[in-house]
Amino acid sequence: MSGLMKGYIRAVDAVNYRVGRVMMYGIFVLMAILLWSSFSKTFFLPTLWTLEMAQFVMVTYYILGGPYSIQLGSNVRMDLLYGEWSLRKKAWFDLFTILFLIFYLCVLLYGAVASTAYSLGYWGQQPFSFFAGLVTGAEEIGRMERSSSSWRPYLWPIKTMMVTGMFLMLLQCISELFKDVLRIKGDLT
């Protein structure tokens, strides 16, 4: 069993490491968009797309970089008591708290999938069956949701990024759960 856990940990950590390293450079994309926004407002006509695109890039940067942050342990913690505990005691505490995070992420993921299905024109109550129907050809994309701004971009790309980020975060949290179990057993330092 610990071999399967270690294999899962290696696979998920490798994927989230690579995604996180790529997303680190997303801040430069965001800076370029905001710099163009400043120049265009100062010297040219203001562009309609820059603010909303900056928001989309920031969401993508944040949500796809989150699993990498968890993997590195650079997330915010209350270190008042935690910092003085042994690795085993930290693992027990993390094991307990990560279960709440996994539950929360499952709820968020369900809502994100439903919102993405809605943005593709599905108004029913079963978003997962809608996506299964898209794959098999039983469902069709309806009238797609657009932003209410004057630029009016489609919203499904950013919602897809949110689903992807939440799914990767869920996988990383399960990896952290397995790491805690292995630390408690003494198989991982």
Question: What are the per-10-residue average pLDDT scores of the chain (189 residues)?
Answer: 90 97 95 92 84 94 95 80 85 92 96 93 86 85 88 93 97 96 85
Number of H helices, E strands in the chain: 7, 0
- How far is residue 168's CA from residue 105's CA, in Å, rounded to a whole number? 10
Q: Per-residue b/e over 159-188, b at no fewer than 16 CB within 10 Å?
A: bebbbbbbebbbbbbbbbbbbbbbbbeeeb
What are the backbone dihedrals phi and psi of residue 156, each rounded to the nearest 5 degrees, phi first?
Answer: -65, -30
pLDDT of residue 189: 62
Residue 75 contacts residue 136 (beta carbons within 8 Å): no
Q: What is the pTM of this model?
A: 0.89
Please give the tally of structural domains in the chain.
1
pLDDT of residue 166: 97
pLDDT of residue 129: 86
For residue 2, what is the DSSP state?
A: H
Domain holding 15, by residue range, is: 2-185
- How far is residue 120's CA from residue 153's CA, in Å, rounded to a whole number? 13
- How far is residue 143's CA from residue 128's CA, in Å, rounded to a whole number? 18
- How far is residue 171's CA from residue 159's CA, in Å, rounded to a whole number? 18
| Radius of gyration from C-alpha coordinates of the chain | 20
Please return the burial class of 125, using the count of CB atoms within 10 Å of its CB with bins 0-12, 13-18 and 19+: exposed
HSE-up of 40 (CA within 13 Å, CB side)?
13
